[in-house]
Structure 1
Amino acid sequence: MDTATPLLRVEGVTKRYGANTVLNDVSFDIGHSEVVGLLGDNGAGKSTLVKIMSGVVQMSSGSYTWEGQHHDTVNRALTEQLGVETIFQDSALVPQMSITRNLFMGREITNRLGLMKMKQMDAITSEILDTVVTIEGIKSSKQLVASLSGGQAQAVAIARAVHFKRSLLILDEPTSALAVRATEALLNYLRQLKSEGVSSVLVTHNLHHAYQVCDRHIVMNHGRKILDVRREDTSVEELTAAVVEGAVGVERFRTGAF
């Protein structure tokens, strides 16, 4: 693996819905083993950008390059193959199914007759829950997801992504519904994944959370990227200025007028 080549590079990404341009000429890289904060107020373009990176929405123009290889068509089948996993606020889990069934959904271990090997999947799930992530309060891999807290459910979604060797995790507002303890656990998961070579994009309104864990911060405003800066070169105050006032806020902060 050439770590000098970005894991993901998007260039000139524009998205239009009729006459409405929701993303305008957005370019950035995601490095290997890097945690990137994607920040901005409502309507900044973050959600559309996440959907494009995930292959759920097609860009109107622009390029998508994964580990140096350009891809003309970017859809969910491709991003699944590349190893992109998006974890939304609701964790995309099925509440009335067990943790095991959710973890192996679409990737079930079966015998020659096509029957699921539940005992083997339960054993693997128990091991994953004990080693990949530390989740308090889960008594069994057979427990229904409906019985889990928001933090526990998100930890299961992260465990699923890690077990199936995802290369890039995109977490869309993961801490908005979590208690303080669960939030700290989630941020620790991102640090742990970074040490294991997994890159993450953290989409959040909470700038303090982003600043704690992200190596770099990208701030969006009205569909444009207005700031792309490493943590050591910025502050929560500058990020706040960028989110609140856009490029004008960054300029005002740097000249001492914010």
Structure 2
Amino acid sequence: MSITAATGVPVIEPASVPVLELKGIGKQFGAIRALHGVDLTVRAGEVIGLMGDNGAGKSTLVRIIAGNFPPSQGTIRFDGREVHFHRPVDSRAVGIEVVYQDLALANNLTAAANVFLGRELKRSFGPIRLLDHRAMETRALELFQELRSETRPHDLVKDMSGGQRQAVAIARTRLSNAKLVMMDEPTAAISVRQVEQVLGLIHRLKEQGIAVMLISHRMPDIFAVCDRVVVMRRGEKRADKPIAESSPEEVTALITGAKEAA
């Protein structure tokens, strides 16, 4: 709410437009119904925890948002306008990036080379174009510093910890000025110290106003960094509520079906 200087009358300002808004999303694979009637809203700088057992529909929902395949029903709006994704490059073009569990990094390359993999910077010498390694290393260092990561541009990925690898993958999403980053099980199979590093990276994205969707089975991580938790079961959304109003026990009950909805 604001007050106009001329009249002194309170004016209620309109709510900010969500970064992502899903309405009635459904997906059929032949006779199999993978998703049904899913509504979801994500705002800038918000961290959403997406939880559910295997087969709950999480992966299908993420792949629809990422442009791997279109929904059978429903609409997707991004930054207030309806969008239709036919392939991943379409979702990336509007500002959606996905950090998959396998990270898709090249172990034999440096951190900087991985950040720019497929998006290399080049400089021209007449008709000849060469990779601009210095520019890529400089920009990669800036991104790591923004994320407050100890990762260095010259480090080889094969020598990195799990937390450093995540930093490289997240830095890559910053090249396109992503507005929404979806992270698939980023803390799976890494040490406690590395988990803290990854959760710190998520905090850095939030501080920069970037929306994050964290797909995870790790309850402590969800309750440590998320603003809201969304629970999927059998292709439907069973809960969508602020973390402060839920508990690990409630989420577990929703995931297992001991509680139908919240």
For normalisation by structure 2, the TM-score amounts to 0.88
| Count of residue correspondences | 246
Aligned to 1:126: 141
| One-letter code aligned to 1:115 | L
**Are 1:151 and 2:151 matched, yes or no?**
no
Secondary structure of the 2:182 match is: strand
Does the 8 Å contact 2:140/2:171 carry over to 1? Answer: no
Which of residues 159, 162, 170 in structure 1 aligns to 2:182?
A: 170
Which of residues 232, 236, 252 in structure 2 aligns to 1:240?
A: 252
Q: Tell me the CA shift for residue 246 of structure 1.
A: 5.8
Does the 8 Å contact 2:70/2:84 carry over to 1? Answer: no
| One-letter code aligned to 1:126 | L
Q: Which structure carries more helix by proportion?
A: 1
Aligned to 1:110: 122
**CA offsets 1:135-192 (integer angstroms, 9 cap, x no match):** 3xx4x42332122222211111112212431111100011111111111111121122
**Are 1:189 and 2:204 matched, yes or no?**
no
Q: Which structure carries more strand by proportion?
A: 2
| One-letter code aligned to 2:53 | D
Question: How far apart, CA to CA, are the structure 2 residues paired with 1:185 and 1:61?
Answer: 38
Aligned to 2:218: 206
Question: Residues 14 and 246 (structure 1 numbering): CA distance in 2 closer, same or farther, change over 3 Å?
Answer: farther
Question: Residues 84 and 188 (structure 1 numbering): CA distance in 2 closer, same or farther, change over 3 Å?
Answer: same
Which of residues 233, 238, 251 in structure 2 aligns to 1:226?
A: 238
Question: How far apart, CA to CA, are the structure 2 residues paired with 1:246 and 1:206?
Answer: 19
Q: Tell me the CA shift for residue 40 of structure 1.
A: 0.4
Aligned to 1:96: 108
Q: Tell me the CA shift for residue 10 of structure 1.
A: 0.9
Question: How far apart, CA to CA, are the structure 2 residues paired with 1:92 and 1:247?
Answer: 37
Question: How far apart, CA to CA, are the structure 1 residues paired with 2:144 and 2:21?
Answer: 32
Does the 8 Å contact 1:132/1:162 carry over to 2? Answer: no
Does the 8 Å contact 1:226/1:246 carry over to 2? Answer: no
Does the 8 Å contact 1:221/1:246 carry over to 2? Answer: no
Q: Tell me the CA shift for residue 36 of structure 1.
A: 0.2
Does the 8 Å contact 2:185/2:216 carry over to 1? Answer: yes
Question: Residues 90 and 133 (structure 1 numbering): CA distance in 2 closer, same or farther, change over 3 Å?
Answer: farther
Secondary structure of the 1:43 match is: coil
| One-letter code aligned to 2:134 | K
Secondary structure of the 1:114 match is: strand
For normalisation by structure 1, the TM-score amounts to 0.89
Unpaired runs of at least 5, structure 2 = 1-13
Q: Percent identity between the aligned chains?
A: 34
Question: Could you say which structure has the larger radius of gyration?
Answer: 2
Question: How far apart, CA to CA, are the structure 2 residues paired with 1:217 and 1:109?
Answer: 39
